[in-house]
Each structure stands twice: as C-alpha cells, then as structure tokens.
Amino acid sequence: MKRKAFVIVFLLLLSSFSLINAQPWMTVFEDKVKIGETLIVGGYKIEVTLEKNEMKPYAIIYESGDIKKVVGQGNITEIDSIRIVLGSYDAENQEVFVALQYKPPLMKELSPEKGTSFDVDGYSLEVIDSGSDRVLLNINGDRVEIKENSVRVYDKIALEYTGGVVKIYHANVEVVREEKKDYEIHYPFRGLKVEAGAEVQIPVEVINKGNGELKLQLKVISKPPGWDVKVLDESGRYEVSELTLKPSTSVTLTLFAKIPEGVSGVKRIRFAVGEETGEINLNVIKRESVDVVVSLLGIESEAGQNITFPITLKNHGGEKDVTLEVREKPAGWNAYFLMGNQRVRSFLLEGEQEITLFVEVPRNAELGEHEIRFSINGIERSVSVFVYKTYKGEPAKLLVTVKDEEGSFVQKAKIDVGNKTVLTDSYGKATFELKPGVYRLVAEREGYEKSEEEVTLEDGEEKTLEITLTKLPYYFELEGGGDTIAVTVGSTGVYRFGIKNLGKEEDTYSLSLLSIPEEWSGEFYYAESPLRSIKVSSGESKEVVLRLVPPFNAQPGEYNLTAAVKSSSGLEKRINIVVKLIGEYKFEMYPETPMISVKAGREGVTYVSLENIGTAPVTNIKFEVSAPQGWDVRAIPQVIPELRPSYFEEGNVRVGTTGVESRLTVTIKVPETAPAGTYQITITGKGDQAQASTQITVRVTQSSSTAYIGMLILALTFGAVIWMMRRVGRR
C-alpha cells in the first residue's frame, strides 16, 4: 500500500509540475523497470542501476555515449526535452517505478474559428466552438475541450490555448526498452590523481551472469594524444582485444595507461567491453622527488620462505603521490609492496612513511643469488636474496581430511588426485605423495555430492586440505546380512539385514522378492510384524527379517534368491542370497522276524528291512555283523548304493516314494557244537551320512540222537559219582 501511495503522489506531482509551468510535457512511459535495463527515448539512453553500497536505485542519462546526468530516487530531473522521475523500489524483485515525460516539438499554430478543420500527422482536427475562455475541438471523432492558458494532451499530441492561439505539439517518439545484459563490468576508480610519467593499472572485472558463453570485443575508445593505453589480461602481461567468458564466471582485466612526462591537467580515457562502456578521469600532476631509503640490500634464505625488506620514504615538501612498481624479479617468484597488512601500488605521502617489499621465494628456487628490481616514483632500487637451500624436485605430501556438514569424519570416501586413488580411514584422512604441480582433486562417497577442487603442490611441500561433503537428500545403504544362509529341510530360514537412511530426509522403502525358487515362500518382517514397506528417518537404521520357507520335498543343495529394497526417490539396491538347503540324514533297520530258531550245525535265513526316515538320501551303506564266536553270518547285499527317503509331504498328504531295494538277506550258520540256548546277532549299517543297527535273536536247538547220547553220558557220570561216595564211606 505504501508503494502504491508513493507512486500516485509523485505522478500527481509530475502532472502539477507540467501545468504550473504551462509546458506541453507529455507522459510517454510509466512502468516498473528492472535494475540493469535501459530505456531509449529520442536520442537519449537511460540506464537504471543500483548504488552498490547503499543499495539505492538511480538512473544514468546518456546522449551519444556521453553521460549527461545522474538521476536519484524521488527527484524530478529535466534534461533538454525529457523529464524523468524514479519512484518506489522493490528490492525483492529488483524493480523501480519509472515515469518519463517528453517535450514535443511545435507542429502548428492557428486562430480557432468555428468550422475550421486541418490534419496533423494522421490526426484530423475540427473547431466546433471557440470563445475567450475555451476552445472545443473534434479530434478523430472525440470532443476535446481546451481551456484558456492550459495544455491538453490527446494521445501523442499536446494542445496549448494561450492568447487566442492554439498551438499543436506532436510527440512522435517511441520508448524502447532494452533488457538487462547478460554481463556486467565493474571497476573501482572513475577518477584518479597521478603523476606525469607514471604507469596506471586499473582492474576491470567482467561478470557473465547469463546461461550462455559470451564473446566480447575489448577496445580503447578514446585516449589523450601520445598516451600508451591498452587492455591487458589477468596476468597484466598480454594485450587482449577479445574475451570469451563461460556462464557464471568472471575475469579481471587490467586497463593499463602509461602517462607521458610533462603532462598535467585532467585527462579522460574511455574504453568498451562489448556494448558496455567505461570512463576514467585522470588528474595528472607534475612528478616531485621522494627520498627512498632501503636498509637491507641482501638476505640469505632457504627456498619456500617469505622475505621482507623494510623501506623508508621521506617527503620534505607538501603532500605527494607515490607510485610503486616491481620492475624485475626471478621467474616464478612473487614480489609486492605492503603498507601495514595491505598490498599497495600507490598512496599519498606527507612526511615519512614505512613500507615493506614482500618477496615470496618458491620452494623450487635455484641455489644462488637472485635480484629484485623495483621503482618508487621513477627512482630505481634493487635488493637480492641468496638461496642456500632448495626443495626443487622433492615430492610433495598432501593430507586430505573429509568431513560432512555436521563436522563428522567421512570414512571410506574415495579421493582421486592425479592417477592415484585412496580411501579415507576411520578419521576421514587420506595421504598422498605427489610430484609438484597442479592437480584436480575429486572426493566422492555414496550418499554424498561429489566435490572437486584444484590443488597446487610445490616442491617438497606438506599441505593439509579439508573437504566437506554434502549429504544427498535421499540415499540409503544395506547393512549386514551376508550373502549365504543355511536352512534345514522342513524348517524356516531367517535372513537379517539393516536399512540405514544416509540422506537428509525421511524416506519410505518398499521390499520385494524379485526371484525365488518354485514352491518356496518368503515374507519380510519388522518387530515380528509382516510388512512390504518401511519408513526410516534420516540417520536411522532399522533391521528387517526375511523369513524363507522351502517346500518339504526340496532337495538339499544351493538355491539363489534376489530381494530388492527401493526408496521412494527411485534408488534401488538388490540383495543376492544363496540358501544352502541341508537335508536330514536318518534311516532305521528292523528285522522282519525278530527271533528265529536254528538247530545246531544247521543254517537259518531271515530278512532285515531298511527305511530312510530322513529328508535326504543316504549313500554307500555297508554292513557289519557281530555274532557269537565260530558262527558264520552273512548279509546280502554287502552295500546299498543309495537309500532314498520313504515319504514326502505334498500339502497335507504324506506320499510314499519308490527307490532302490532296501532289504537285506541274512544267512546264519550255527556250529554243531553250539549248546542249545538263546543268542544275539547285531547288524550295523554305516552310510556316508548316517548309520543304524538292529538285533536278531537266534534260539539254538539240538538234534534227537545227540540228546540220547547226552542223557547216557549224564547217567554214567551220575552212577560213577554214587560208587565213589560209597567206597569212600566204607573206609
């Protein structure tokens, strides 16, 4: 509301200003103009810009390339045939309200008589009525009244009625708006005070604010006669006439001017960068002498050190301009002047002043003496540095520390420098030993934005560099789990893994099985609850359990499964799982006839059945027999190559299988001398994976003749015992 009120007030002020002065000013433009845009009206160019320090808008009015006037905010400024007012400023959108008025040329004068008609540049006018206090006109079908001593504006014509005469003015002018250029130039000085014979170097910064590459012509538009003026590159060594700038980059050029001796007064230099022009006024004064006292002329130093030479300047007269220049120095060295902690090229000297020549000795400096020559107001001086130790050719060491935005160390970040790659340790550090030179350093880690820096390493230098990696908004990692799990047939396999949200934002992750063996089943769980997606906060980790159930008839072996975790941002990670399915190896042996009867000296036959009650085949079953001494017991066959499971479950139905014959024929031969009685025979089957055993009870009986002989022997023996007892008793 305040801005709107301000606009209305200054427009009313503008209108009243016109009427008070009885001037036929016509408003030709009223609108918001962006900072940097230009309005062209007639032969004038009006550039709207911003005061850099106070951030206030102002306008510069040019005519034929020359600055005619600078207009501040809120003022009514008149120059020749235009009038301009800068209104309210919108800092957020960088827009200022501009109103322009134009004073049109006189096209026709006439005495208004009723019925008179005439044409003026496409406008048809007819006098309908006239009097001493007013005139009524018909203009292109519209009735327009003009009062005595007033101005009336109709479209692009202005009509003034004064002293019984109607004056007609035509504002045949267009206002052209030029959008803000994609580039800007900045230079700190527009007026300088210098001495004759001095050299002036003014930095000119060119900034490409657009999205495309710029190619700009550089030239000096005007200069005083006999002056050497040129545009130099950033190094100040080479003259340039054309500049190419990539998007969002800048370059600082140098406007160089060599002032001839014997020149004085205010001189102007005008230059152009593309369509932008600049102007610098130099107030040239005669050179006056200054005493230069250099207390140290030669210093010894090792390479890589900084050397200071104190210099005392004495001015015995009034205030003088002092110009400093390093004329000559060794290649690769750096030398400049300091006043306090500020680098200086020129200053005003009154009385006495201490300055310092600061010399940076490179680490690869050659052994021996090196000279630095400099000039102070044209007075030549020199100093020397004797290098007694150098690091030329020695490798440089670079220690890189990587942290995140919160200052925590980033482990396992990949650092590429030159042709070397190193991963950071638990403290976020990586060390390189490299040849001297300029390197492109690239630091990256999953979940972070890549960082690139240019690193310059000098001979034998040990440099420490800290890099900050910025986390991506959405990223995650899978923790633990491994790639192999063991599952017993008939049981449930459990695979555990963690989802860690390494991004800045909370995220939701969907879980799925991309591939799973036929008839297997799998489901994801968190905190004992099944789920298909899970939400994880930034920096948090949640453990998910994948439960796998193989079918009962699954054969032992290795099975491959693939699970997928996909974030809402589209990032997907897969888990390849190898399931080692382990079978249950178990079989039983039982005789078809647990007890058999065999007569001594005879042979008996029985059968033993084998049943695989496990879930996997048992192979290479061999048999061992344990029997009473002297017995001949044989089991046929001696080896069963494979004994398959007897049953598997399909749904809720237990189904039998057919396999290799699983029956033993056991032949038992009892010795003739074996007494009658009950005996145990043990048969043990030993396979590659399991073993089992069973027992057969054998009841041994005697033949009838053998029984009679035995009874006779017993009778004789009993009779002999009785005879001996009687005989002994008589004695």
81 with 173, same domain: the answer is no
The answer to which of 57-66, 528-537, 675-684 has the lowest mean pLDDT is 57-66
Which burial class, exposed, middle or buried, applies to 543 when counting CB atoms under 10 A from its CB (0-12, 13-18, 19+)? middle
Task: Transcribe 604-661 into DSSP letters.
Answer: EEEEEEEEE-SSS-EEEEEEEEE--TT-EEEEESSEEEEE-BSEEEETTEEEE---S-
605 with 690, same domain: the answer is yes
The answer to the question of residue 81 being in a domain is yes
Question: Computed over its alpha carbons, how large is the radius of gyration of the chain?
Answer: 55
Mark which of 77, 102, 127 sits at the end of a domain.
Answer: 102
Residue 289 — pLDDT band, cuts 50, 70, 90?
Answer: low
Residue 287, pLDDT score: 62
Whether residue 553 has pLDDT greater than 80: no
224 with 267, same domain: the answer is yes
Torsions phi, psi for 36 (to 5 deg): 100, -15
In the chain, the number of structural domains is 7
Mark which of 50, 74, 102 sits at the end of a domain.
Answer: 102
Token output for 637: 């066959």
Whether residue 569 has pLDDT greater than 90: no
Question: Can you tell me whether residue 157 is helix, strand or coil?
Answer: strand
CATH code, domain carrying 17: 2.60.98
Dist CA 258 CA 378 (whole Å):
13
Judge whether 550 and 537 are in contact, CB under 8 Å.
no
Residue 660, pLDDT score: 46
Average pLDDT over residues 277-286: 85
Whether residue 640 has pLDDT greater than 70: yes
Residue 698, pLDDT score: 92
408 with 491, same domain: the answer is no
Residue 654 — pLDDT band, cuts 50, 70, 90?
Answer: very low
Residue 13 — pLDDT band, cuts 50, 70, 90?
Answer: very low
The answer to the question of residue 727 being in a domain is no
Which residue do the tokens 């045939």 mark? Answer: 81
Dist CA 512 CA 515 (whole Å):
9
Residue 402, pLDDT score: 95
CATH code, domain carrying 537: 2.60.40.10
Residue 305, pLDDT score: 93
Residue 658, pLDDT score: 47
73 with 31, same domain: the answer is yes
**231 vs 724 pLDDT, higher one:** 231
162 with 206, same domain: the answer is no
For 409-426, write each residue's pLDDT tens digit.
999 999 999 899 999 999
Residue 659 — pLDDT band, cuts 50, 70, 90?
Answer: very low
The answer to the question of residue 22 being in a domain is yes
% of the chain exceeding 70 in pLDDT: 91
Most confident option among 123-127, 646-650, 669-673: 669-673
Judge whether 101 and 83 are in contact, CB under 8 Å.
yes
Residue 710, pLDDT score: 60
Whether residue 390 has pLDDT greater than 90: yes
Task: Transcribe 363-431 into DSSP letters.
Answer: TTPPSEEEEEEEEETTEEEEEEEEEEE--TTPPEEEEEEEEETTS-B-TT-EEEETTEEEE--TTSEEE
Residue 572 — pLDDT band, cuts 50, 70, 90?
Answer: very high
Residue 684, pLDDT score: 95
Dist CA 80 CA 699 (whole Å):
145
Token output for 332: 């690769």
Domain residues for the domain of 270 are 182-285
HSE-up of residue 241 (Cα within 13 Å, Cβ side)? 1
Whether residue 262 has pLDDT greater than 80: no
For 465-487, write each residue's pLDDT tens digit.
999 999 889 999 898 877 888 88
Residue 23, pLDDT score: 59
Which burial class, exposed, middle or buried, applies to 181 when counting CB atoms under 10 A from its CB (0-12, 13-18, 19+)? middle
**How many CB atoms lie under 10 A from the CB of residue 274?**
18
Mark which of 556, 582, 608 sits at the end of a domain.
Answer: 582
513 with 577, same domain: the answer is yes
Please state the three-class secondary structure of 703-714 as a single string.
CHHHHHHHHHHH
Average pLDDT over residues 82-97: 86
595 with 696, same domain: the answer is yes
700 with 594, same domain: the answer is yes
Whether residue 11 has pLDDT greater than 60: no
Residue 53 — pLDDT band, cuts 50, 70, 90?
Answer: low
Residue 16, pLDDT score: 44
Residue 648, pLDDT score: 52
Token output for 432: 């390189």
**711 vs 285 pLDDT, higher one:** 285
Whether residue 653 has pLDDT greater than 50: no
297 with 281, same domain: the answer is no
Q: Chain-wide mean pLDDT for the chain?
A: 85
The answer to the question of residue 306 being in a domain is yes
The answer to the question of residue 445 being in a domain is yes
Task: Transcribe 529-562 into DSSP letters.
Answer: EEESEEEE-TT-EEEEEEEEE--TTPPSEEEEEE
Token output for 524: 């994801």
Residues 6+ apart with CB under 8 A from 270: 220, 221, 222, 223, 277, 278, 279, 280
Residue 6, pLDDT score: 44
Residues 6+ apart with CB under 8 A from 256: 199, 200, 201, 228, 229, 230, 231, 232, 236
456 with 483, same domain: the answer is no
Dist CA 265 CA 699 (whole Å):
146
Residue 707, pLDDT score: 55
220 with 271, same domain: the answer is yes
Whether residue 37 has pLDDT greater than 70: yes
Residue 41, pLDDT score: 85
